[in-house]
Chains A and B, each alone.
Chain A
Amino acid sequence: MKTSRVLLALILVIIISMAALLWFFPPNGDFRVENPFWNGMSTVASKAKLTVIDTFDSLSSNPKGTALLLVPYDGFSDVELTQLNDYVSGGGTLVVLDDYGFGNQVLSSLGLKMRFTGEQMVDPLFDYRNKFIPKITDFMATPIATNVSSIVFNHATCLNDTSGSTVAAYSSSFSFLDVNGDGSWDNSEPNGPFPVIAYAKVNQGVVVAVADPSLLINGMIGLDDNLQFVNNVCGLQSANPKIFVDQSHLVKTPLDDAKADISFVYGVVASPVGTLSLIVVLLVLSLTSMWRKGGGFGKKR
């Protein structure tokens, strides 16, 4: 065999192997339900039986008895905002978990006053290990607080303009907004307690704003009562709801893009046309070489 052929075969093998590796390597992006690492959501997905959706078209036409967990780290189109509005108006429970993303776009489109401040809230005393992982212990008497005594946030923010909403939980009075990012309180920086969880009725549905999505990740869901809290929030309107989780507004990693590309190729190959094309290519490749060598089957004898 010529060296060039060996090289070609080797490259082909490496490409296929690497593609397989990428295919089977778990996603490592934040909040991905397939991500089994600390920053993924595989644990809550299995424990709370989440149904993943990549487009709001997948939302039920009858949203009653369902809840949608939304981590808005990417912007929304007008069509998507309309779909969310329809979902909530139809009786769904929309849980917007945001800190520094596009949650305000959703709240604004739903006509709600409350907003995510987008400033980092730290709590130097009520925390898990350090001030950037604050504990929330001050719960109001709402269904969200059932069997929940404390939850843990991770690099969270807080809410403001909650006058038209029901505040379900506040940060401790020791918390403050680290506006200048120096990690310590300065005179000009607002201090707590801040509202961190609030909900409001929108037509037949409910919108819940939670000032940190990180409580959903694998490294956090087992801390304190985070999982119970998620169940309570989703069950705000109905017991045992079907819970959707949106994955289309997350930041994509190169691995996600690579997987999407491979998935596309796989989809093309797996389609009837693709499969037939592959058959033809394989046949041509396997038979052409024979044809060249022997000048035809019959003449070899």
Chain B
Amino acid sequence: MRLAAVALICVIALSFLVPCTLVNAQPAFVPHEDPAAAQSVMDSYSFLSEYADILSLISLEQYANASSLTEQLSHITVPEDLSYVINRYNNITQQLIGALSDLKNTLDRASFLLNQNRLAEASQALDNAGVLVARAQILLGELQDATATVSQRLGVFAAPAESKIRQAYDTLQGLLARLTQLIDQYHTLLQSINKQAEEIRAENLEVTQLTLKLKSSSVFVGGSVEASGVLTAGTQILSNRIVQLLLDGTQVATANTDANGNFNAVLNIPYNYVHSMAVQALYAPLNGDKEVYLAALSPTLTINVMFYDTKLTVVAPTVAYPGLVYTVSGTVTSQQGTPLNQREVRVLFDGGLTGEIKTYSSGFFSIQSTLDAQTKTGAHILTVSVDPDGDYAGTSQQKTVTVAKIASSVNVHAPPFVFLPAGVQIFGSVSSSSGPLKNAKVSLEFANISTVVRTLDDGTFSSTMNIPLSTVFAGFQNIKVTVEPAEPWQASAQANNSVFVLNSVSIAFTCVASFSVGVVLYARFARSKQKKSEAKIVIPDNSSAVPENTGTFGVAVPVKAEFRFEGVKGKVLEAYVKALRAVESMTGSVLVANMTLREFLYEAEPKLGDAVSPFSELTVLAEKTLYSPYAPEAQDVSKAEEYANEIGRMLNR
């Protein structure tokens, strides 16, 4: 039985615990794994494959694509123990791409310069290319070493020969070999261009000279300046030759030399508001001249580009409110304070154009814009820009504007005490510094009940919430009032109000429960009291216990106490007590606490007269009932009652 009970309890307990551990079937794929417990794993095959792609792009001289891919790979997540090696590998790859790209460009430029007989510049480029070839070779060696190290750390060599990762590694090695060939090609090309340069040098072409003069060393932006010079080859004047004029390295004009070798050209200065530009003249021999002359590059002259700075003064709000108009104003002047008329001013809020206007003759401008109602609160960037105009450069200013909402306040009035179920009237008002807020949405939540009302024109609201009986027993409950103003520039507000709630059913339940407990306790207490009393004087019918002092009659009988008698034994004793009262009353003897029934009989005997005999018989019967195992019967009860009645009659005579 016990085992069955334990088993049953275990089954019940386990059946309750099952829901805590079981999870139902999920969708087709695992929806997620615990990222904290996820093992950090590097996908070696993908890593090597991607680097093989990069090396392939390098070998195809697609350096921009290779660089872009390498840059992407620099952001991959790698386990911490591999991060240094992988980052270094990426870094070397990126450096190699840079070196090879530079080398290719340098060789191309050297070749281009040589084609223009610009031997000096070409020589400089070739020297640089030589350095780059050496650097590329060093970097390739490092990359080969790094590939071996990375592959070892990725466990490539432990993988079977036919595995994907080994195949990717083999591909990578093949591409590294192709890179070696590429660098060798560049080296060969360098040697070839060097040889070409040597050949040009060996031809002893005539050196040409080109001078350059500017009519003015300063010019306003958008203006022009006359350039002139002379092209010669030693003492020989070179006429009817094309001279290029370069502005910051870019050809902006050409001119033909005249019979005296002079050239004149007008340089138009673009509207680039920079303070200086470099001007050069270039003579590159063409056609038959290429067999005779070297190119000439004039000394570099600096031309000062002049323009006026524009001074912008902006007055903008530091705080703006969604949905409300804000004004940006200011003045546009020269540095000397001269107002600038008709200058185009734009206002951008977080980069988005919100307004544009031209300045008045006073240089003043003012733009009003409405801030988008959905603009998030917080700091935003307000940019005011003035477009460049002629000799005046453009300018701009940025201001930080804090988008905020105007604080709203809500006053709520609710009864301090609610006895559920009840209709609770809640009223209040919503206002802000601008006054009462009308048509604001007021959400009221109380005891899992919610309702929504709108404020009136004076900002007040009122609602009666019918709160049904709930599980709330008693205590303070919160009325949550949330206000969402109709105007986007007003902030929402919230207020809480405590209400003491009593639940009528709960109270009734408590009362009834208390009452029933009281009744039960009272009943139990009453029974317990009765039992205690009976324990002292009442011998129940089925009692077979004999007091230890049976023979000595040492039981103290609380004669004056109130007695309750039950059963047959009780009736016998009841009869004795009845007789005892009569005897005590008539004789004046009292059955005291330390006296046995028989001692009392002896004491009262001389005063009893004829009643001695029945009282003696009754005393013996009472002793027998009290102290012996003898269970009195109905006839004993009759007998005892007869004795008691007889004693009563005799003593009352």
Binding site for B on A (CB under 8 A): 3, 7, 10-11, 14-15, 18-19, 21-22, 25, 28-30, 38-39, 73, 99-101, 118, 120, 124-133, 135, 137, 152, 154-155, 172-174, 184-185, 213-214, 217, 219-220, 223, 235, 237-240, 251-255, 257-259, 266, 270-272, 275-276, 278-279, 282-283, 286-287, 290, 294, 297, 300-301
Are B505 and A272 in contact, CB atoms less than 8 angstroms apart?
yes
30 pairs, A vs B, C-beta closer than 8 Å? A14-B13, A18-B17, A21-B16, A22-B16, A100-B29, A124-B43, A124-B47, A127-B77, A128-B38, A129-B39, A130-B39, A133-B33, A155-B32, A213-B31, A214-B32, A219-B36, A220-B35, A238-B374, A240-B376, A254-B24, A272-B505, A275-B469, A278-B509, A279-B513, A282-B513, A286-B516, A286-B517, A286-B520, A294-B523, A300-B530
Shortest distance from the beta carbon of B171 to any chain A beta carbon, whole Å: 15
Given the contacts A39-B32, A126-B75, A300 and B16 also touching, CB distance less than 8 Å: no
Interface check B470, CB cutoff 8 A: yes
Are A129 and B35 in contact, CB atoms less than 8 angstroms apart?
yes
Shortest distance from the beta carbon of B522 to any chain A beta carbon, whole Å: 9
Separation of A253 and B23 alpha carbons in the complex (Å): 5
Shortest Cβ distance from A126 into B: residue: B76
Interface check B202, CB cutoff 8 A: no
**Which of A101, A184, A240 meets B377, CB within 8 Å?**
A240
List, in ascending order, chain A residues with CB within 8 A of B28's CB.
Answer: 100, 118
Interface check B3, CB cutoff 8 A: no
Given the contacts A275-B509, A290-B523, A300-B530, A130 and B38 also touching, CB distance less than 8 Å: yes
Interface check B535, CB cutoff 8 A: no
Are B46 and A28 in contact, CB atoms less than 8 angstroms apart?
no
Are A174 and B29 in contact, CB atoms less than 8 angstroms apart?
no
Are B40 and A300 in contact, CB atoms less than 8 angstroms apart?
no
Are B527 and A130 in contact, CB atoms less than 8 angstroms apart?
no
Are A283 and B512 in contact, CB atoms less than 8 angstroms apart?
yes
**Which of A155, A173, A301 meets B33, CB within 8 Å?**
A155
Separation of A73 and B28 alpha carbons in the complex (Å): 11
Separation of A187 and B25 alpha carbons in the complex (Å): 32
Are A251 and B24 in contact, CB atoms less than 8 angstroms apart?
yes
Are B38 and A129 in contact, CB atoms less than 8 angstroms apart?
yes
Shortest distance from the beta carbon of B439 to any chain A beta carbon, whole Å: 13
**Which of A130, A172, A283 meets B40, CB within 8 Å?**
A130
Separation of A251 and B27 alpha carbons in the complex (Å): 9
Given the contacts A39-B32, A154-B32, A126 and B50 also touching, CB distance less than 8 Å: no
Are B322 and A239 in contact, CB atoms less than 8 angstroms apart?
yes
List, in ascending order, chain A residues with CB within 8 A of B520's CB.
Answer: 286-287, 290
Shortest Cβ distance from A255 into B: residue: B19
Separation of A266 and B38 alpha carbons in the complex (Å): 40
List, in ascending order, chain A residues with CB within 8 A of B39's CB.
Answer: 129-130
Are A7 and B5 in contact, CB atoms less than 8 angstroms apart?
yes
List, in ascending order, chain B residues with CB within 8 A of A137's CB.
Answer: 75
List, in ascending order, chain A residues with CB within 8 A of B526's CB.
Answer: 300-301
Interface check B164, CB cutoff 8 A: yes
List residues of B (505-547) whose CB comes within 8 Å of A's CBs.
Answer: 505-506, 508-509, 512-513, 516-517, 519-520, 523, 526-527, 530
Binding site for A on B (CB under 8 A): 1, 5, 8-9, 12-13, 16-20, 22-41, 43, 45-47, 50, 72-73, 75-77, 164, 322, 374-377, 469-471, 505-506, 508-509, 512-513, 516-517, 519-520, 523, 526-527, 530
Separation of A21 and B514 alpha carbons in the complex (Å): 28
Separation of A29 and B1 alpha carbons in the complex (Å): 39
Are A287 and B516 in contact, CB atoms less than 8 angstroms apart?
yes
Separation of A116 and B45 alpha carbons in the complex (Å): 28
List, in ascending order, chain A residues with CB within 8 A of B31's CB.
Answer: 30, 73, 99-100, 154-155, 213-214
Are B35 and A125 in contact, CB atoms less than 8 angstroms apart?
no
Shortest Cβ distance from A252 into B: residue: B24
The 3 closest A-B pairs by CB, nearest first: A18-B16, A124-B43, A124-B46
Shortest distance from the beta carbon of B208 to any chain A beta carbon, whole Å: 53
The total of Cβ contacts below 8 Å across the A-B interface reads 188
List, in ascending order, chain A residues with CB within 8 A of B5's CB.
Answer: 3, 7, 10
List, in ascending order, chain B residues with CB within 8 A of A29's CB.
Answer: 23
Shortest Cβ distance from B522 into A: residue: A297
Separation of A129 and B82 alpha carbons in the complex (Å): 12
Shortest distance from the beta carbon of B465 to any chain A beta carbon, whole Å: 18
Are A300 and B38 in contact, CB atoms less than 8 angstroms apart?
no
List, in ascending order, chain B residues with CB within 8 A of A278's CB.
Answer: 509
Shortest distance from the beta carbon of B307 to any chain A beta carbon, whole Å: 33
List, in ascending order, chain A residues with CB within 8 A of B164's CB.
Answer: 184
Most buried by A among B8, B32, B509, B513: B32
List, in ascending order, chain B residues with CB within 8 A of A258's CB.
Answer: 16, 19
Separation of A22 and B376 alpha carbons in the complex (Å): 43
Are A28 and B20 in contact, CB atoms less than 8 angstroms apart?
yes
Are B27 and A100 in contact, CB atoms less than 8 angstroms apart?
yes
Are A239 and B530 in contact, CB atoms less than 8 angstroms apart?
no
List, in ascending order, chain A residues with CB within 8 A of B77's CB.
Answer: 125-129, 135
Shortest Cβ distance from A157 into B: residue: B29
Given the contacts A253-B24, A272-B469, A279 and B32 also touching, CB distance less than 8 Å: no
Are A120 and B509 in contact, CB atoms less than 8 angstroms apart?
no
List, in ascending order, chain A residues with CB within 8 A of B17's CB.
Answer: 18, 21
List, in ascending order, chain A residues with CB within 8 A of B8's CB.
Answer: 7, 11
Shortest distance from the beta carbon of A51 to any chain B beta carbon, whole Å: 11
Given contacts A132-B38, A254-B23, A286-B520, 13 further A-B pairs with CB under 8 A are A14-B12, A18-B16, A21-B20, A124-B46, A124-B47, A125-B77, A129-B77, A130-B41, A155-B29, A219-B35, A220-B32, A270-B470, A286-B516
List, in ascending order, chain A residues with CB within 8 A of B23's CB.
Answer: 28-29, 253-254
List, in ascending order, chain A residues with CB within 8 A of B527's CB.
Answer: 294, 300
Separation of A213 and B9 alpha carbons in the complex (Å): 41
Are A125 and B47 in contact, CB atoms less than 8 angstroms apart?
yes
**Which of A133, A287, A290 meets B35, CB within 8 Å?**
A133
Are A30 and B26 in contact, CB atoms less than 8 angstroms apart?
yes
Shortest distance from the beta carbon of B47 to any chain A beta carbon, whole Å: 7
Are A18 and B12 in contact, CB atoms less than 8 angstroms apart?
yes
Shortest Cβ distance from A154 into B: residue: B32
Shortest Cβ distance from A267 into B: residue: B471
**Which of B18, B20, B34, B72 meets A219, CB within 8 Å?**
B34
Given the contacts A129-B35, A214-B31, A297 and B523 also touching, CB distance less than 8 Å: yes
Are B41 and A73 in contact, CB atoms less than 8 angstroms apart?
no
Given the contacts A126-B76, A184-B45, A301 and B26 also touching, CB distance less than 8 Å: no
List, in ascending order, chain B residues with CB within 8 A of A259's CB.
Answer: 19
**Which of B19, B37, B45, B469 meets A271, CB within 8 Å?**
B469
Separation of A289 and B603 alpha carbons in the complex (Å): 50
List, in ascending order, chain B residues with CB within 8 A of A254's CB.
Answer: 18-19, 22-24
List, in ascending order, chain B residues with CB within 8 A of A220's CB.
Answer: 32, 35
Most buried by B among A18, A29, A185, A235: A18
Are B9 and A10 in contact, CB atoms less than 8 angstroms apart?
yes
Are A131 and B43 in contact, CB atoms less than 8 angstroms apart?
yes
Separation of A128 and B530 alpha carbons in the complex (Å): 79
List, in ascending order, chain B residues with CB within 8 A of A252's CB.
Answer: 24
List, in ascending order, chain A residues with CB within 8 A of B13's CB.
Answer: 14, 18
Shortest Cβ distance from B73 into A: residue: A125
List, in ascending order, chain B residues with CB within 8 A of A255's CB.
Answer: 19-20, 22
Most buried by A among B19, B28, B34, B40: B19
Separation of A125 and B53 alpha carbons in the complex (Å): 14
Separation of A203 and B581 alpha carbons in the complex (Å): 106
List, in ascending order, chain B residues with CB within 8 A of A100's CB.
Answer: 27-29, 31
Given the contacts A11-B9, A131-B43, A271-B469, A251 and B26 also touching, CB distance less than 8 Å: yes
List, in ascending order, chain A residues with CB within 8 A of B25's CB.
Answer: 251
Are A22 and B24 in contact, CB atoms less than 8 angstroms apart?
no
Are B19 and A154 in contact, CB atoms less than 8 angstroms apart?
no
**Which of A3, A19, A237 meets B16, CB within 8 Å?**
A19
**Which of B22, B27, B523 meets A253, CB within 8 Å?**
B22
Shortest Cβ distance from A284 into B: residue: B516
Separation of A279 and B470 alpha carbons in the complex (Å): 16
Separation of A34 and B513 alpha carbons in the complex (Å): 35
List, in ascending order, chain B residues with CB within 8 A of A99's CB.
Answer: 27, 29, 31
